[in-house]
Amino acid sequence: MTLWGGRFSTKLNDQAWDLNTSLPVDQRMALQDVDGSLAWADAIHKAGILSDEEHGQITRGLVAVRAEFVSGEFSFVPADEDIHTAVERRLGELIGTAAGKLHTGRSRNDQVATDFRLWMLQAIPELDAALKNLQAALVEQAELAGETLMPGYTHLQRAQPILLAHWWLSHFHPLGRDRQRLADLTKRVSVLPLGCGALAGTPVPVDRVALAESLGFAEPASNSLDSVSDRDFAAEFLFCATLTGVHLSKLAEQIVLYTSAEFGFFELSDAYSTGSSLMPQKKNPDVFELTRGKAGTLIGLLTGLLATLKGLPSTYDKDLQEDKAPVFQAADTLLMMLPVLAGAIQTITAKPKRMRAAIDSFMMATDLADYLVGKGIPFRETHAIAGKAVRAAAEKGIGLDQISLEAYQALCPAFEADVYQVLDPMKSIEKRNAIGGTSPEAVKNQIDGVKRLLSFENS
Ligand code: ARG
């Protein structure tokens, strides 16, 4: 039986029913729906709608329904249109006519928005914990890397030498910002729609501040029209999830590149690589390729919801039922991906020799220019002189370290024998010692900082 049959002469067409029902998607909000109903029962009892006896019956009934969901004994029937209908139907079976009083002054519009927010309030910490674990794996690798050198790239062209630890941490910080975004979003999720009715507010004199508090919300929504149709939190959640996906795809792409034979900077553990059905030698980074791929799917989920919301007339429209599937899918995707990534990162092996071999002397061309700056020559001029040195060496097929001192002095008389020292990549790295730089000292400070941050959160 639907909750709205009274006005209709025939039942809904079967296919229209299938289109209309949201149970396959929203049944995962079962516990939230029961909790919202328990709080609502308290509120309308206090407001004088339910007698003590009815309140007791409804509460005991809802607790029993909750237990059925937890134990897996709850069975849906074909007429359950959505999770709200299913809970109310079952309550009626358990306690009889008193169940019919629960929906007084409430609509599925404020109910569904409440359930969804309750669901998100528990999903955000789960996501946060998974992000934090991945961050911990990145810090672990950064510590393990010690003073391992690797080439740093811009435009995917060899640019300047960096510490591997610095590179690992460059993937830590975006996740930190993702976590901040989720924490900030929590404030906006924590606004209670319940008590807004279908659109215009509830005629029952409920104490919405107390109601909000009892459900763990920071405050009740202040405009009923806005509240039943506001899905900003869903769009924001999808944006957060999508940006995380984009961050992960950036890390993933580099692991895919760096595990290729051409780079050979890392080797994946067998536990996180896959083979080919045809080519026996293959060891594929599927985990990272899927991470890269799923970022695309996440972007689609975000744009899909925004398109659904665009131009919707106020207040509730059934289009809004499309809000949950993308949010659930995004959360599921990340919660599946993040632990796998943490494991894959934890077990990856760096190949310092290959990384070192990929640092050629040209990557110190900036240091050559900086060397002449130290001799009092303006950087614009030293940049041109170093550029000429690069061209001369490249033409001869030698490195900057193989240019003779005479040849250097022919380019600029300020060159002295100590020029070769600046062509040492570690020297180049050591010089970059300001906060945020790649020097061993700056990176050590960075590691200390992020570790303090993580352990502070644990305390
Ligand atoms: N299943 C619906 C949803 O997810 C619940 C709200 C239904 N409201 C209504 N007026 N039909 O949006």
For this structure, is 155 an active site residue? yes
Domain holding 384: CATH number? 1.10.40.30
> Same structural domain for residues 341 and 448?
no
Q: Does one domain contain both 99 and 126?
A: no
Name the residue of 23, 82, 88, 228 to mutate for ligand 1: max ligand atoms within 8 A of Cβ.
82
Residue at 4 is within a domain:
no
Give 210-240 pLDDT, tens digit per residue.
Answer: 999 999 999 999 999 999 999 999 999 999 9
Q: Are residues 91 and 117 in the same domain?
A: no
- 82 & 38 share domain: yes
Atom number in ligand 1 closest to CA 320: 12
398-450 tens-digit pLDDT: 999 999 999 999 999 999 999 999 999 999 999 999 999 999 999 999 999 99
Domain that holds residue 365: 361-458
Which of 336, 357, 378 marks a domain boundary? 357
Same domain as 365, residue 296: no
Both 34 and 100 in one domain: the answer is yes
Spell out which residues line ligand 1, taking CB within 6 angstroms.
Answer: 22, 26, 82, 108-109, 112, 316, 320-321
- Residue 50: which CATH number? 1.10.275.10
pLDDT value for 459 = 72
Specify the CATH number for the domain of residue 302: 1.20.200.10
From 51, 260, 269, 276, active-site residue: 276
Answer with the one of 320, 339, 357 that is the final residue of a domain: 357
Angle at which helices 324-346 and 108-145 cross, to 10°: 10
**Probe residue for ligand 1, chosen from 37, 109, 229, 230 as the CB with the greatest number of ligand atoms within 8 Å:** 109
Same-domain status, 296 and 442: no
Q: Which pLDDT score is estimated for 216?
A: 98
Q: What is the mean pLDDT of residues 149-159?
A: 98
Rounded Cα distance between 93 and 100, Å, is: 11
Rounded to 5 degrees, what are φ and ψ at 160? -145, 150
- On whether residue 5 sits in a domain, the answer given is no
Q: Would you call the peptide bond into 315 cis, given omega within 30 degrees of 0 as the criterion? A: yes
Query: Are 238 and 343 members of one domain?
Result: yes
Looking at 106, 131, 160, the residue that finishes a domain is: 106
Strands (DSSP E) found in 148-220: 149-154, 157-163, 191-192, 219-220
Same structural domain for residues 391 and 432?
yes
Please state the atom number of ligand 1 nearest to the C-alpha of residue 81.
Answer: 1
Residue 334 has pLDDT above 80, yes or no: yes
Do 454 and 370 reside in the same domain of the chain? yes
Residues 31/66, Cβ–Cβ less than 8 Å? yes
Classified as helix, coil or strand, 311 is coil
- Measured CA to CA, the distance from residue 51 to residue 36 in angstroms comes to 19
Tell me, in angstroms, the distance from the centre of ligand 1 to residue 230's CA.
Answer: 13
Counting the structural domains of the chain, the total is 3
pLDDT above 90: residue 279: no
Residue 2 belongs to some domain of the structure: no
- Is residue 10 situated within a structural domain? no
**How close is the Cα of 112 to the center of ligand 1, in Å?**
7
Residue 371 pLDDT greater than 70, yes or no: yes
455 counts as catalytic:
no
CA contacts within 13 A on the Cβ side of 105: 23
Report if residue 12 sits inside a domain. no
Evaluate whether residue 381 is within a structural domain: yes
Q: How far is the CA of 290 from the centre of ligand 1 (A)?
A: 34
Q: Looking at 9, 71, 155, 404, which residue is catalytic? A: 155
The predicted model gives 279-298 an average pLDDT of: 94
Would residue 428 count as lying in a domain? yes
Residue with the smallest CA separation from ligand 1 atom 4 is 321
Which of 26, 37, 80, 108 maximizes ligand 1 atoms within 8 Å of its Cβ, making it the mutation to test the pocket?
108
Quote the distance between the C-alpha of residue 414 and its chain's center. Answer: 52
How remote is the CA of residue 125 from the centroid of ligand 1, in Å?
A: 26
Mean pLDDT score across all residues of the chain = 97
CA of 3 to the centre of ligand 1 (A): 11
Q: Is there a single domain that holds both residue 164 and residue 298?
A: yes
Distance 315 CA to ligand 1 centre (A): 12
Structural domain includes residue 164: yes
Percentage of the chain exceeding pLDDT 90 = 94
pLDDT at 1: 64
High-pLDDT (> 70) share of the chain, %: 100
Q: Do 368 and 337 belong together in one domain?
A: no
Instruction: Give residue 123's identity as a one-letter amino acid code.
Output: A
